[in-house]
């Protein structure tokens, strides 16, 4: 029969290889999404019309959620829609107003968990307008094009917002012979406004280059620097430098792929700093979001994706082909079985040798990538083995 010491250490290593695997199951960071809709509203008169809009809620394929439909109340009364998954975009069917098929779309930003939206319509009839992005000097074409009404003061009155496709084109349903404020939205949340654009044709070309940005935008990134890097696979370094010396405060968060904040800090009255965060998962991807309060440039936002090392936790002998069992990778299960077998083959006479062999095998399995273990687990197991060995030799000597 097995010695209790062997069983204890085997249990420690078994739990250590299963619990990290269970933690790999992603958790939904946001559980409720609430969106309020108003309309239909005539965009020329800014008055409610006597019919509602048929709204279709489209979800991304990864959400495994069928499209939803609802009709907003007539006379502009609000309608609140709540869901458990973040939608991809809203499609407004204005057929009831026009008598034939015409739609507008509003695409959501990545972290747009809630919002208040007004659905606008107009006579004469709306038409699809194509915006072609002409980029110069390696400028990113952005991800969305947004059209705002000019007749609404004080609050953004977004008529339509559509994605930019692979041909650098976005299609928005707008009113011909009208003027809209057209804004380009980038992946990191920054925007560039083309100003008031007259809708004079069905295809409009917009040119953007490094010279398109305001001079203060160029200056702020010339003199204020904030970057994140991974000097080693398990650390993240955040560097900040203000060459003008006008920093009031810097606040930044580092989040994981489930939107959990893993690191956060506030710096005040400083021109530079270098923070080093440890205990970082080598293969995980992290996201940096920083807010800088500056005497010259006002509020600045920095965003950066900190990529993981794909090879850091990749098994040297890959068993991924066998899939997972109850959320636990197959290599973790095989490793646990091997550890139990090693501990079990030793009898009570040589149990301490078996303890040593089990720990060595565990280290080998960790090295080839089949175990996800913290180094502290091995240290604890070795210490326990040494204490048991001392106890054994004292009893033997007594």
pLDDT tens for residues 311-335?
A: 444 444 545 445 555 556 666 677 7
Tokens at 328, concatenated: 């636990």
Please give the Cα distance from 200 to 364 (Å, whole number): 70
Tokens 């000019």 belong to 150
Q: Where does 33-212 sit in CATH, by number?
A: 2.60.40.1120
**What is the dihedral sign for C-alpha 9, 10, 13, 19?**
negative
Nearest to 314 by CA among 290, 297, 331: 331
Q: How far apart are the first and last CA of the chain?
A: 24
Tokens at 236, concatenated: 């993240």
pLDDT given for residue 313 in this prediction: 42
Q: Is the peptide bond before 40 cis (omega within 30 degrees of 0)?
A: yes
pLDDT given for residue 115 in this prediction: 93
Nearest to 300 by CA among 181, 239, 219: 219
Q: Are 67 and 119 in contact (CB under 8 A)?
A: no
Specify the DSSP class assigned to residue 44: T
Tokens 């080998």 belong to 364
User: Is this prediction's pTM over 0.75?
Assistant: no
**What is the dihedral sign for C-alpha 392, 394, 396, 398?**
negative
Q: Annotate 202-222 with b (16+ C-beta within 10 A) or e (fewer).
A: eebebebeeebeeeeeeebee
Nearest to 303 by CA among 248, 238, 233: 238
Q: Where does 215-306 sit in CATH, by number?
A: 2.60.40.10
Nearest to 65 by CA among 50, 51, 43, 86: 86
Kindly give, in sequence order, each residue whose CB lies less than 8 Å from that of residue 288, ignoring residues fewer than 6 positions away. Answer: 228, 238, 252, 253, 254, 302, 303, 304, 305, 306
pLDDT tens-digit readout, 252-306: 999 887 778 999 999 998 899 999 998 888 877 788 888 888 887 777 877 777 7
Nearest to 296 by CA among 217, 190, 212: 217
Of 22-26, 167-171, 281-285, 315-319, highest mean pLDDT: 167-171
Judge whether residue 372 has pLDDT over 90.
no
Q: Are 21 and 30 in contact (CB under 8 A)?
A: no
Q: At what angle do helices 4-22 and 351-367 cross, to 10 degrees?
A: 20
Specify the DSSP class assigned to residue 390: H
pLDDT tens-digit readout, 212-246: 544 444 445 567 888 888 888 888 899 998 888 88
Tokens at 138, concatenated: 């390696």
Provide the pairing of β-strand 144-149 with 224-229: unpaired
Kindly give, in sequence order, each residue whose CB lies less than 8 Å from that of residue 332, ignoring residues fewer than 6 positions away. Answer: 17, 18, 21, 370, 371, 372
Tokens 């307008």 belong to 129
Q: What is the mean pLDDT of the chain?
A: 76
Judge whether residue 22 has pLDDT over 60.
no
pLDDT tens-digit readout, 117-134: 999 987 667 889 999 988
Total H helices, total E strands in the chain? 6, 24
Please give the Cα distance from 288 to 306 (Å, whole number): 7
**What is the dihedral sign for C-alpha 55, 59, 65, 67?**
positive
């Amino acid at each position: 029969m097995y010695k209790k010491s062997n069983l204890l250490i085997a249990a420690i290593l078994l739990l250590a290889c299963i619990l990290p695997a269970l933690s790999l199951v992603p958790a939904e960071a946001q559980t409720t999404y609430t969106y309020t809709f108003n309309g239909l509203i005539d965009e020329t008169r800014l008055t409610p019309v006597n019919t509602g809009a048929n709204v279709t809620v489209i979800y991304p394929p990864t959400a495994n959620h069928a499209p939803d439909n609802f009709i907003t109340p007539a006379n502009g009364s609000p309608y609140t829609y709540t869901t458990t998954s973040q939608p991809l975009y809203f499609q407004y069917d204005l057929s009831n107003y026009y008598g034939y098929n015409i739609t507008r779309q509003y695409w959501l930003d990545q972290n747009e968990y809630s919002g208040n939206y007004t659905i606008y319509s107009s006579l004469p009839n709306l038409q699809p307008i194509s915006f072609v992005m002409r980029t110069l000097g390696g400028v990113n074409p952005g991800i969305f094009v947004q059209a705002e009404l000019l007749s609404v003061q004080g609050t953004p009155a977004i008529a339509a917002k559509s994605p930019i496709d692979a041909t650098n084109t976005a299609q928005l349903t707008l009113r011909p012979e009208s003027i809209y404020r057209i804004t380009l939205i980038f992946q990191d949340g920054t925007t560039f406004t083309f100003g008031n654009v007259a809708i004079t044709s069905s295809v409009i070309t917009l040119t953007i280059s490094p010279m398109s940005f305001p001079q203060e935008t160029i200056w702020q990134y010339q003199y204020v620097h904030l970057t994140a890097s991974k000097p080693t696979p398990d650390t993240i370094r955040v560097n900040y430098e203000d060459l003008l010396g006008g920093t009031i405060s810097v606040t930044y968060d580092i989040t994981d792929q489930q939107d959990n904040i893993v690191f956060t800090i506030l710096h005040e009255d400083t021109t530079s700093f270098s923070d080093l965060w440890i205990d970082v998962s080598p293969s995980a991807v992290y996201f940096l979001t920083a807010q800088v309060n500056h005497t010259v440039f006002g509020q600045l936002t920095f965003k950066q994706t900190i990529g993981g090392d794909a090879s850091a936790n990749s098994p040297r002998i890959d068993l991924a082909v066998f899939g997972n069992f109850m959320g636990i990778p197959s290599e973790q299960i095989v490793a646990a079985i091997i550890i139990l077998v090693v501990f079990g083959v030793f009898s009570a006479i040589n149990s301490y040798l078996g303890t040593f062999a089990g720990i060595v095998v565990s280290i080998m399995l960790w090295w080839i990538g089949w175990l996800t273990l913290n180094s502290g687990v091995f240290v604890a197991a070795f210490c326990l083995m040494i204490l048991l060995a001392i106890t054994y030799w004292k009893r033997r000597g007594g």
